[in-house]
Chains A and B, each alone.
Chain A
């Protein structure tokens, strides 16, 4: 495999664990006071994590998403909203190469993560997912004990030391605001948890491997308002350590938690009767909801559509 792209692989493979956090100390443009931010929705907002450029995504011959371009910034919560079938989940799953698992899925255009092309031939999807974690719509705890669920990620990454694992499990469960509820039954099956607890366990499991980015695919859609609130608070608490991208159907949720919002919509071609998702508008959340530039966005956020 003597190919010139080898260097890009080395670039992604060799980022030391600590180096993925090296930008934490950079001055945060998001530190502008809340009120000013609405009035000053300038584009530049910190370190770009993902740069998606002219990307189309196919499942077989079906073009699910057409020509999406957006930039996601570090330590922000970016929300994807839009009606069903608009491709928000597809775009999200492209960001950590989860779509590789779908037979026939194909990505066209550029998707880069910290400047590295995610779809370069020699980039390992395993290395990518190690840094870019994902929380799914339906809580999916493994049929193991609560402890083993959280310790799963560290273990597959080679951590065997018992006290180190204990520490990681406690820290992750505390971050996910679940520690107090489960600390006395860590050995019990994770399948005995309620829906909200199970989802927080899945978040703890994701945080346990200390990812750089956490992708969330409608993490609260199956939860009651109290559990939803807990997860939203949690997202706001952890965003100074992680970068979060969340897909949501709930526009209030997007306004409550996100810094930037991308509105996706469905394009229908009446001639061939095909549908494809596309990015309509991407802006700081207050501007997208307060002063939408596109009529489709306006219709959606004011409840006249979708």
Chain B
């Protein structure tokens, strides 16, 4: 099992499994090309690199992390036009009464969808929003994405 940390990404070929743990407002994006068994996962924290002060880690942002993940997958043999996406996370765990954080979870989901649309990668499954954390596991053997939560059980997409 390959663990993808926060603001981190990884690519693997079957029969490997990729996982990222405890997604709250962050979004976990898993890409998969069934024809070659190449899968990738990125755990983004923010929608865009544009206004960020620290731009060193491109895996932190939806608009840079997702294209970079796809590039790495195609380098490892995946076909871009056969790659599909499954996404999870983007919850709103707490709502503090300050307006500083205009629902970051929703913004992360929107930016993720926009980045995938630009790359013409279809989203085939989505488990997003609400107010609870998620751990996801991508099985590169068959492309299944398992979404686990503390109290809401396990779902397989």
A binds B: no
B: residues with CB less than 8 A from A are: none
